[in-house]
Structure 1
């Protein structure tokens, strides 16, 4: 039997019902509701899996209401008309740090903000006139002044959120604008997607224009863009972005719960692509028998030395290592967290094959990664599905890679070497993570 068509009236009833359920949960659990006030909570804390699903269903209904209230044609017009200016306004606010130009308590004039940002007052005014329609700042009672809203205040307070905006809009966003030309050049008339890194939208975008063809991959771009003291500023922003993502998606708790670390005893763990060693330090603090080697490119050695407590350095060490080269450390556990996600299949297979020379029978790979595409997407709210599909298109533009479901991750291991035996797979669509444990049977 066909499902009944939704209407404005049915959506209004659904939104009312879901709102009552959600706010009842918040009230029963002492979770404060956000508002647009500057002192509002900036995110929900304490949501359960059930309440998270409830919220996403409410978001789906609100999105449907947004479409039908305008009508199908006007909703498309308004989306196309607003999307790029909306993103540009947020990007400019972030890049020129409008956030700190306005006090959290009080207001600032256009002239004040112009002095802070070193932009013409006219530009400041026009950017803010659009931004206030997005609840990013609000007009003050004083003429030509603005104040913070909870949205702009969240960005003023959080370096991680600012880094997220910069990475997704300034670094990963522009290549998406040349996807049509990329597909026309490299995929039109072919039966399969090219997997060459030189044929990505990112490579095409950087082949000329303001970047002059200097960067072949996104990693090359973020590591080397800028001159003098600004060289590598995008990489520093990306590190902060990843810290924020880890916090937002509770990666620390996922890592601690991903393995029976206590019974691992005096195991040697190699944290591949472990950046500044945050996760290695946490593991060492929680499990004093573990010995941990953090591997990353040489630039990560500075934050590692800064962030690793002296009393742990006998058990937590840093090694400069490119994971495309053969693994030099013979260990019990090799941990790969959010690494293969950003590489096409061919490169992901190479990374796993690089471990083989150092592995001995019984050694394990503990693989933890983002899994945005679910095996049962139709069972989930569209707003959850959209998290995965949006990331998937971004992966296509940057790497000619895809947002893999759990099955595809298992295939990567098999393609790397049949002697990897997958002994455990845990995937939760509400945490967006998959944990795979693979034992080396060579």
Structure 2
């Protein structure tokens, strides 16, 4: 999965074409793809010829899914493989920069400090987060249906660590009287501001903010925390 995500294999055509465009040995490409086939990613209808399955086609055609694959394998998996080493190196540490992620990336910075300095990775991470919310167990419809948002009227919701604002976008469409402020790290909100629908641009504002610092927006109606406390 990591090789498929990093080398953009799902968008290529033939073994030779993949090898040439990715700069990867053709034998390695064949091995990667044939292993992927055991997971029902791609198929080989005849020897030497590969074709898409429904799963691999999704990676090729759905950018969010491609970003999910790349983020899971390049960011989360590599951090996970170094977690025990981080526990040995920093016993009992609660510091955000003494982690498996820091070891995997050869840095003394936290994951979000690293992402804030790499806009491309931050954008990919935000896109992957949006893909996660579209899974059956995490659908934003649960958020829409299970809180009395209408009672807030035209109040303001501050989405702390709100990534690209996809939760607020769904809420704004369902409850047009509400106003929203999305807070996240600079490159994340910069990317989010570019993707919010134009008809909602007056309802959803983006503010660069590190949620480990003091909250700059005081006395608002709702502070919304979703999938951030684990950070």
Matching of residue 165 in structure 1 with residue 72 in structure 2: no
**What does the per-residue CA deviation read over 1:123-147, in whole Å, with 9 as the maximum and x for residues that have no partner?**
2223233333333222232x42212
Q: Which residue of 2 aligns with 1:132?
A: 37
1:197 is paired with a residue whose SS is coil
Instruction: Identify if the C-alpha distance between structure 1 residues 235 and 260 changes in structure 2 by more than 3 Å, giving closer, same or farther.
Output: same
1-structure distance, mates of 2:58, 2:196: 29
Alignment of 1:55-70 (within 5 A): none
Write the deviation string for residues 355-405 of structure 1: whole angstroms up to 9, x where unpaired: xxxxxxxxxxxxxxxxxxxxxxxxxxxxxxxxxxxxxxxxxxxxxxxxxxx
The partner residue of 2:215 within 327, 332, 337 is: 327
Check if 1:306 corresponds to 2:194: yes
CA RMSD of aligned residues (A): 2.4
Q: Is the 8 A contact 2:119 2:187 kept in 1?
A: no
Cα distance in 1 for partners of 2:90, 2:164 equals: 37
Output the CA distance in 2 between the equivalents of 1:139 and 1:130.
11
Match of 1:245 in 2: 132
Instruction: Pick 1 or 2: higher relative contact order, CA cutoff 8 A, min separation 6.
Output: 2
| Structure 2 residue 98 is matched with structure 1 residue 199 | yes
Say yes or no: does 1:236 pair with 2:129.
Answer: no
| Contact 2:130/2:166, CA 8 A, preserved across alignment | no
Establish whether residue 275 from structure 1 lines up as the match of residue 186 from structure 2.
no
Q: Based on CA coordinates, which of the two structures has the bigger radius of gyration?
A: 1
What residue number does 1:394 align with? none
Give the TM-score of the pair, scaled to structure 2.
Answer: 0.85
1:218 aligns with 2:111: yes
The answer to whether structure 1 residue 99 and structure 2 residue 10 are counterparts is yes
TM-score between the two structures when normalised by the length of structure 1: 0.47
Give ranges in structure 2 of 5+ residues lacking alignment.
Answer: none
Q: Of 268, 293, 299, which aligns to 2:181?
A: 293
Pairs aligned (count): 229
Q: Is the 8 A contact 2:161 2:211 kept in 1?
A: yes
Say if 1:273 and 1:295, in contact at 8 Å, map to a contact too.
Answer: yes
Structure 1: where are the runs of 5+ without partners? 1-89, 103-107, 188-192, 208-212, 225-230, 343-442
Displacement over 6 Å in runs of 4+: none
Q: Cα deviation per residue 1:139-177 (whole Å; 9 max; x = unaligned)?
A: 232x42212223322322322222222112211212333
**Other structure's SS at 1:295 match:** strand
Q: Which residue of 2 aligns with 1:57?
A: none
CA change 1:126–1:310 in 2 (3 A) is closer
